[in-house]
């Protein structure tokens, strides 16, 4: 067998994908998330991360594979297969504080004179970071080559951020970020803002959706050096199934109810309308 031998804490499982099958093992009690991780560890280079999948269990009773029952956990030797769905799944775009992480991308000092409406973007970014603290939402912050481009602008208060890390890759999705996300297994949504829309924001969003996360890009908190690049990137991302939204929509969706205990604090953040940051410009 692939793992050599099994002990009392592991169960043999046959993992099948496409025309391939490979015996391995998983810890007793493994559920859906651990099984998905196992499939990816075995077949990662063959799985199209942009697809949606279901896991099926071979049923001796029926003599064929059936969809994995809700709440299933591995307790005995079994056969599983990963099946790509043929139809795209359109998500509803719901947000809740317990399943959301905020990503702040490259809001650095050296970009100040170059990025269109950067002052407005900073202002909206402040609201989002304040909202994250009020609602207890984890924040992950990247800085693109800070040695040359400086650190995050002083106006943005990063107090309590889960991770602030330097990078040279355009996408924020690096091993240290994936490790930080793994600490929040319930997370299904990322609220993403920063610069530049057509480069780091776009590549981060596509990488995150490829990992099965739903991405919400805050249009009034992201920009580029060129309005053309900014607007075409937002259009492309929206067509890719990524939610393009606004800061006020995000914050109010996260509280969802006037009776939410944090509603008043969020309301105070949005009393004044956010700047339009050129989004409604006809120029």
Of the listed 38, 120, 200, 220, which one is catalytic?
200
In the residue annotation, 200 being an active-site residue is answered as yes
In the residue annotation, 77 being an active-site residue is answered as no
* Coil vs helix vs strand at 106: coil
Give residues with Cβ within 8 angstroms of 182, minimum separation 6: none
Of the listed 38, 105, 106, 116, which one is catalytic?
106
In the residue annotation, 157 being an active-site residue is answered as no
Helix locations, the chain, DSSP H: 32-43, 118-135, 146-149, 175-182, 202-210, 227-239, 247-255, 263-269
Instruction: Indicate the pairing of strand 53-59 with strand 64-67.
Output: antiparallel
Give dist(CA 252, CA 156) in Å, integer: 21
Q: How many helices (H) and strands (E) does the chain have?
A: 8, 11
Of the listed 120, 167, 207, 220, which one is catalytic?
167
The arrangement of strands across the sheet holding 189-195 comes to 163-167, 139-144, 100-105, 189-195, 214-223, 243-245
Give dist(CA 28, CA 177) in Å, integer: 28
CA-derived radius of gyration, the chain: 22
Q: Active-site positions?
A: 106, 167, 200
């Amino acid at each position: 067998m692939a793992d050599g031998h099994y002990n009392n804490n592991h169960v043999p499982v046959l993992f099948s994908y496409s025309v391939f099958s490979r015996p391995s093992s998983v810890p007793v009690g493994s559920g859906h998330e651990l099984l998905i991780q196992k499939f990816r560890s075995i077949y990662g280079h063959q799985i199209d991360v942009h697809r949606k999948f279901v896991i099926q269990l071979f049923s001796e009773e029926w003599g064929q594979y059936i969809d994995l029952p809700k709440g299933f956990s591995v307790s005995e030797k079994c056969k599983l297969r990963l099946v790509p769905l043929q139809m795209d799944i359109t998500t509803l775009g719901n947000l809740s504080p317990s399943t959301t992480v905020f990503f702040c991308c490259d809001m650095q000092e050296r970009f100040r004179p170059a990025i269109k409406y950067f002052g407005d973007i900073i202002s909206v970014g402040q609201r989002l970071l304040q909202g994250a603290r009020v609602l207890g939402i984890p924040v992950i912050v990247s800085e693109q080559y800070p040695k040359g481009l400086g650190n995050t602008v002083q106006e943005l208060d990063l107090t309590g951020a889960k991770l602030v890390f330097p990078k040279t890759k355009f996408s924020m999705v690096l091993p240290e970020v994936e490790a930080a996300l793994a600490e929040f297994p319930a997370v299904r949504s990322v609220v993403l803002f920063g610069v530049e829309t057509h480069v780091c924001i776009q590549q981060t969003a596509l990488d995150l959706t490829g990992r099965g996360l739903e991405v919400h890009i805050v249009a009034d908190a992201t920009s580029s050096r060129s309005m053309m690049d900014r607007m075409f990137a937002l259009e492309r991302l929206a067509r890719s199934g990524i939610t393009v939204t606004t800061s006020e929509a995000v914050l109010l969706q996260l509280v969802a109810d006037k009776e939410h205990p944090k509603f008043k604090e969020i309301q105070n953040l949005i009393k004044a309308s956010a700047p339009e940051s050129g989004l409604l410009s006809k120029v």
